[in-house]
Structure 1
Amino acid sequence: MKRLVFVNLLFLFMLLLQNPAASQDAAEEPVPQVPTPGMVTMLDLGAHKCIPCKMMAPVIQELQKEYQGRASVIFIDVWQNREEGAKYNLRAIPTQIFYDKTGKEVSRHVGYMDKNSIVAIFDKLGVPKTKASDNAQ
C-alpha cells in the first residue's frame, strides 16, 4: 500500500515537472532584478494558472500603475521560472515579499493579500500615496 502511494506521488511530481508549455513560456518572460535598486519593492511569487494567484493579478496590475515610479511591484510565475521558487525559499503560492529601499527583506506573506494590506505596508515603508507632481496641482 505504501509503495502504491509513493509511486502515485512520484508520478504526479514527474507530471508537474514535465509541463512543456512552462518551459516554452519561460523564455518569453524574462525574470526582473529583485529587489529593484533604490526602491521599495513588492515581489509576488505565484503562477498564472493558480486560482489565488489569478485573484491577485488585478491587484498587482492596479498597484503597478498606481505606484509607478514610487515603488516596484513585480510578479514572477514560479511555474514558468522554477528556479525562482528555490531562490526565495518559497513554501506556497502566492507569496508576497516586501523589500525596503536598501534591498532588505522586511515582510513576507503567504496567500492572497488584498490591496489595502499591501498599501499599508507601502505606507510603513515610506512610499508616498501619490506622485509629487499630483500634489503640486
Structure 2
Amino acid sequence: MIGVLAFIAVVAVYAVTESGPGTNPSGTVGLQAQSTPMPSPGTGRVTMIDLGATECIPCKMMAPILAELKIQYAGKADILFIDVWKVPAQAKIYGIQTIPTQIFFDEKGVEVFRHIGFMDKQRIVDILSGLGVS
C-alpha cells in the first residue's frame, strides 16, 4: 500500500513539474529556454526543425545542407536546428529519442511529417514543396 501511494505521489509531482508542447511564457510555441530567439511552428510559415547535436556525425553531415536551405527558403519557410545535447529540454518537448530527427510543421504549427536519421537535401526540398513552399 505504501508503495502504491509513493508511486502516485511521484507521478503527481512529475505531472505538475513537466511542461509539454504549447506556449511558454516567452510566447513561442514548443521552444523553451533558447538563448537565441527562434521562429517557432505556427508563425504562418512552414517550419522544419532538425533536432540533433553539433557533435553527431549524421548531424554534421546535415549542417551544410540546412545552412544552404535556410538561405534558399528565407522568408518562405523556417529551417531550424536545435542541439538537444545543449538544450535537452527540447528533446523532451518534441519526443526525440534518436538524433537527428527532422520534424515538419505546416503554417499553422501542426506536425505533418517526422523523419529519423540523415535526410538529404532533395528529400527535404520534396517535403517542403509538398507543403506548398517554392
Assess same fold via TM > 0.5: yes
3-state SS of paired residue (1:102): coil
| CA-CA distance at 1:91 after TM superposition | 1.2
Q: Which runs of 5+ in 2 are unaligned?
A: 1-32
Q: 1:114 aligns with which of 104, 111, 120?
A: 120
| CA-CA distance at 1:30 after TM superposition | 2.6
| CA-CA distance at 1:77 after TM superposition | 0.3
| CA-CA distance at 1:32 after TM superposition | 2.3
1:80-119, aligned counterparts within 5 Å? 80-119=86-125
Q: Give the Cα–Cα distance (whole angstroms) in 2 for the partners of residues 43 and 28 of structure 1.
A: 14
Q: Which structure: larger Rg?
A: 1
Question: What percent identity do the matched residue pairs reach?
Answer: 51
Q: Is the 8 A contact 2:49 2:103 kept in 1?
A: yes
Q: How many residues are aligned here?
A: 102
Structure 1: 4+ residue segments shifted above 6 A:
none
Please name the residue that 1:50 is paired with: 56
1:1-137, aligned counterparts within 5 Å? 29-30=35-36, 32-35=38-41, 37-128=43-134
Q: What's the TM-score once normalised by structure 1's chain length?
A: 0.71
Higher helix share: 1
Q: Give the Cα–Cα distance (whole angstroms) in 2 for the partners of residues 76 and 29 of structure 1.
A: 11
Q: Which runs of 5+ in 1 are unaligned?
A: 1-26, 129-137
3-state SS of paired residue (2:41): coil
3-state SS of paired residue (1:35): coil
Q: Give the Cα–Cα distance (whole angstroms) in 1 for the partners of residues 83 and 65 of structure 2.
A: 16
Change in CA separation of 1:81 and 1:58 when aligned onto 2, cut-off 3 Å: same
Q: Is the 8 A contact 1:44 1:95 kept in 2?
A: yes
| CA-CA distance at 1:34 after TM superposition | 2.3
3-state SS of paired residue (2:108): coil
RMSD: 1.6
